[in-house]
Structure 1
Amino acid sequence: MVHFWGVRGSIASPGAATAGVGGNTSCVEVVCGETRIVLDAGTGLRGLGSELMGRQEPLALTLLLSHYHWDHIQGLPFFAPLYMKDAELTIVGARGTTSIRETLHRQMSAPVFPVRLDEVGAKLETREVTPGSTFAVGEATVRVARGNHPGGVLAYRIEHQGRSIVYATDTEHYACVDPALRALAEGADVLIYDAQYTPEEYANKVGWGHSTFLHGTDLARSAGAGGLVLFHHDPARSDARVLEIEARAREYFPASMAAREGMQIDLANARGAQAA
């Protein structure tokens, strides 16, 4: 099961114009049997944490970070299970100029945050991965590829019991379909792809590290993906405009849908299915 907790890009954008699609930044939960994987720790992570705390049961999950820009890590300090002694959290990502732990420690230190990362109650482990690597997370298998974003970004493919989902956000397209992402997304049931800009807007955003719905449909079609989820909506994009982009994408790839907070996709019936 795939559950979308945050679908916006760049900065959280609450308000009446964005309430339908949602204003929280990137966070997607993937449940594979007894294995829980979370993709990115944007502000949507806070809602997931609240839901998990309501279950009042021991918690173990793996957090896959695409990169460390604010809109992908700001939810971590507000993730309630992070402060629980019976919680186990493994954070996976690329090594930048510093380690994962050092990078995340910076946002949870004075003067910008009152609680240090080394003061949290959860058992916290980190794992650094590189493009091309494959590793196991509980019942699932995860593959890693490189995207195209300032400072670097990782894309992930999660496979479980013959089903697969690809998460490729904050990546900018090339003149051709990105061969690394095409290989990662080949035959995937669901492709979640950065569609922050329209093709018309992109002309003034070259080099900013984001893509369009049109290039998302090109990638989905080339890779033979079962469905395309348009993700990382521009924070200024109203609900009505997101729906317009969804309609335009379906002209090129009918199995396209815009990500919305609260949306769920059953991977057991992913191909050809609409989100709940």
Structure 2
Amino acid sequence: MVVRFWGVRGSIPVPGLNTAVYGGNTSCIEIKNQDGIFVIDAGSGIRALGDKIKQSNQNFEIYLFLTHTHWDHIQGLPFFSPIFDYRYKIMIHGPSMLGKLRNMISGQMGYIYFPVKMDDLASYLEFRELETETFKIGNTKISTIYIYHPTACLGYSFESEGKKVVTLFDFEVDVSSSEILAGDIFPQMLRIAGRENIPTDDKILDFAKEADLLIIDAQYTKLEYQTKRGWGHSSIPSAINFGIKSKAKKIILFHLDPSRKDEDMMLIEHYIENYFKMKGVKFNVYVAREGMEIEV
């Protein structure tokens, strides 16, 4: 599998000179293998991916997997050029939204907001709502799990040819399932997913176990997280600790805070590298960059 990052930011696109190295587009990841193109999230980064797909003049079946429907994860879909081309079949997967996933996605393309309604698109669109399940597309095994976020949000696992890629964003590592089940935090997630679908902390850890590549939410510093608990995102130390516990072979820190400039991200990467050197531990932890490509 080849994994390419088309958008790595959270919350809002932040293009400009201060984000030219790590990128300013919101969440979009492409996984490509012998079974086709799998796209995780449709943030603003999906626009450039769509242009590349159109230029290649192949891969007319596209599998899109939405983690959830917050705007920074769907806002690029109206600008994804294959949706305007009759040759393309796009299968849109996402968390169960009580039968309303299509309506939630099409809402941002209402004529009051966008000049082309979803019903007028030339491509063939198919929607599939997912819960905690496992299925195959070709020889690629895909598994899903609910992860801790204010609304229903899915983590994904893609397994192909003995390799495993896991995505866990948007995800707050330091929230516990007992808090959610008690109704103390994330009530909307509990209402939509249902009590039976709220995984334990250990179950999420097992989901990511021994991943060849773990892409995980790491929006905040440890200090920032103190005032942002319950926002649905992880601190960088917590994300790294989760990756270590899961025995992931390579960790990519994702969903970068929009306020963070390139120089800030470079300092964070430098600190992480030095920390592991001082500990005498070799560990593969990297910060996601737009355009980064990893062969798994």
Q: TM-score, length-normalised on structure 2?
A: 0.86
Superposition deviation, residue 175 in structure 1:
6.2
- Identity among equivalent positions (%) equals 39
Distance in 2, matches of 1:58 and 1:140, equals 16
Any conservation in 2 of the 1:3–1:263 contact (CA below 8 Å)? yes
Runs of 4+ in 1 over 6 A off after TM superposition: none
Once residues 155 and 186 of structure 1 are traced to their aligned partners in structure 2, the CA distance between those partners, rounded to angstroms, is: 13
Work out whether residues 26 and 72 of structure 1, in 8 Å CA contact, stay in contact via their aligned partners in 2.
yes
Structure 2 unaligned spans of 5+ = 177-199, 277-281
Corresponding residue of 2:128: 127
Whichever of the two has the greater Rg, that structure is 2
CA distance in 1, matches of 2:235, 2:69: 22
Question: Residues 72 and 111 from structure 1, CA distance in 2 versus in 1: closer, same or farther, beyond 3 angstroms?
Answer: same
CA contact (8 A) 1:217 1:249 kept: no
Deviations 1:213-262 (A, max 9, x none): 21111111111100000000001100111122223334257310000010
Partner of 2:82: 81
Partner deviation per Cα, 1:97-141 (whole Å, 9 max, x = no partner): 55221111101112111111111111111111102x001123311
Deviates more, 1:223-232 or 1:253-262: 253-262
1:75-224 matches, cutoff 5 A: 75-131=76-132, 133-174=133-174, 178-224=201-247
TM-score scaled by length of structure 1: 0.93
Correspondence for 1:271: none
Q: Which residue of 1 aligns with 2:182?
A: none
Q: Report the 3-state secondary structure (helix = DSSP H, G, I; strand = E; otherwise coil) of the residue aligned with 2:128.
A: strand
Between the aligned partners of 2:284 and 2:74, the Cα distance in structure 1 is 30
Counting matched residue pairs gives: 266
Q: What do the CA deviations read for 1:70-116 (whole angstroms, capped 9, x no partner)?
A: 00001100000011101010000112255221111101112111111
Match for 2:292: what amino acid?
A: M
Q: Give how far 1:56 is off.
A: 2.2
Which residue type is aligned with residue 53 of structure 2?
Answer: L
CA distance in 1 between counterparts of 2:73 and 2:159 reads 22
Which structure carries more helix by proportion?
Answer: 2
Q: Is 1:3 aligned with 2:32?
A: no
Distance 2:108 2:98 in 1: 15
Do the aligned partners of 1:213 and 1:249 also contact (CA within 8 Å) in 2? no
Supply the distance in 2 between the matched residues of 1:146 and 1:180 (Cα, whole angstroms): 10
Q: Partner amino acid for 2:58?
A: E
| RMSD, aligned α-carbons | 1.5
Contact 2:134 2:141 in 1 (8 A): yes
Q: Deviations over 1:171-205 (max 9, x none)?
A: 11126793232111101000000011000110011
